[in-house]
Structure 1
């Protein structure tokens, strides 16, 4: 039987992450890593069953850094998004993680680069994120977010071969993750609206 805590897991993060989603996530990752190379499975486990919003944000942030331009990285993070989106879609009370995630290493250098790249924006973004239109960040709307996240993650394969091609879907995934983590329906609505631009990008790429 699902407890109230389990139900809240799909609504976002705890209060600290809700008040400052981006800083809260980076703090959690750094606390987990403790200056050492850490695998992605360990990082996700540290979030417990509140992992969905933070994992979308983490994938987005890393894909928006130079790390996202490395061959195979967009597809790897896309698969991670799909894995967690499917679990959200089927309302698993506790996230399941395959052992392969233990092979995805996050080095202190990569974390420092991501933090340095995104750092100047963290406080600014956290200052505008707040619980509002929360009905967009919970319940049935999360199923829509899960489906859109899966579709965006699938686009990582074709767009990953184009320089900076994954920037747009990664940014949108970040908006959705930010909205879930901060329980801010405005960011979720914006992400859902912007998602319609991705098929246009792929059509332009094909044609």
Structure 2
């Protein structure tokens, strides 16, 4: 297999969102795959793409597949904890090899959302890099853990995970593009979501 870092560097730098899905389709090579192989293929740059990938999948009809919201939530927690620990390379549990990713669905999703992703990629760029590194990474990891935990109960509601997934996707995109403005927006929106969830529980 080609070095994952080499395969994904250029697409992510030129078009972060389109690059993630393009990389996934390239790795699947026309056949169904599993989450572990896809994540491993991204190498040391997996933290941001994993958040974007999980967010994108859960904002599509893939998000209503029984068990997938909880699985993606656990994946995000596992990676957020590693981000919190400042690991340079993510550890991927073998159990993710059991979570199948159908090529046909991913290809359909890619075709439908690519025009929208292209528009988003055109407006993001490295800005306020301090908001995507250092202590901000700790805050990002903590928020990601809380959002991912909320996905388990939200997964019981059709498309209930969409708000949390969207925020996770924005944070992952901010990490990939080193866009601090986008990160601050995502963190601010997460406060609104947490407030809404708290009001429901209370």
TM-score, L = length of structure 2: 0.91
Please give the alpha-carbon distance, in whole angstroms, between the structure 1 residues aligned to 2:68 and 2:119.
27
Residues 1:186 and 2:181 aligned together: yes
Deviation at 1:122, TM superposition (A): 1.1
Q: Which runs of 5+ in 2 are unaligned?
A: none
- Report if aligned partners of 1:18, 1:183 keep a CA contact under 8 Å in 2: no
- Report if aligned partners of 2:174, 2:180 keep a CA contact under 8 Å in 1: yes
Matches within 5 A, 1:126-137: 126-137=121-132
Please give the alpha-carbon distance, in whole angstroms, between the structure 1 residues aligned to 2:134 and 2:176.
14
Q: Which runs of 5+ in 1 are unaligned?
A: 1-8
Please give the alpha-carbon distance, in whole angstroms, between the structure 1 residues aligned to 2:81 and 2:54.
16
Residues 1:100 and 2:101 aligned together: no
Residues 1:202 and 2:197 aligned together: yes
Deviation at 1:204, TM superposition (A): 4.3
Deviates more, 1:161-170 or 1:83-92: 161-170
Matches within 5 A, 1:12-91: 14-91=9-86
Aligned to 2:40, the other structure's residue is in SS state helix
The RMSD of aligned alpha carbons is: 1.6
- Report if aligned partners of 2:11, 2:18 keep a CA contact under 8 Å in 1: no
Aligned to 1:155, the other structure's residue is in SS state helix
- Report if aligned partners of 2:25, 2:107 keep a CA contact under 8 Å in 1: no
Q: Deviations over 1:135-156 (max 9, x none)?
A: 1112221111111000000111
Alpha carbons of 1:201 and 1:158: their partners in 2 closer, same or farther (altered >3 Å)? farther
Please give the alpha-carbon distance, in whole angstroms, between the structure 2 residues aligned to 1:191 and 1:59.
15
- Report if aligned partners of 2:167, 2:190 keep a CA contact under 8 Å in 1: yes
The answer for the alignment partner of 2:156 in structure 1 is: 161
Deviation at 1:162, TM superposition (A): 1.9
Moved over 6 A (4+): none
Q: Deviations over 1:135-183 (max 9, x none)?
A: 1112221111111000000111221222221111111001101100111
Please give the alpha-carbon distance, in whole angstroms, between the structure 2 residues aligned to 1:130 and 1:16.
14
Q: Deviations over 1:22-78 (max 9, x none)?
A: 111112111111111111111111110110000000000000001112222111100
Deviates more, 1:140-149 or 1:109-118: 109-118
Q: In structure 2, which of residues 141, 145, 149 is the aligned counterpart of residue 150 of structure 1?
A: 145
Q: Deviations over 1:62-109 (max 9, x none)?
A: 000011122221111000000000001001122111101111111111
Deviation at 1:18, TM superposition (A): 2.5
TM-score, L = length of structure 1: 0.89
- Report if aligned partners of 1:18, 1:130 keep a CA contact under 8 Å in 2: no
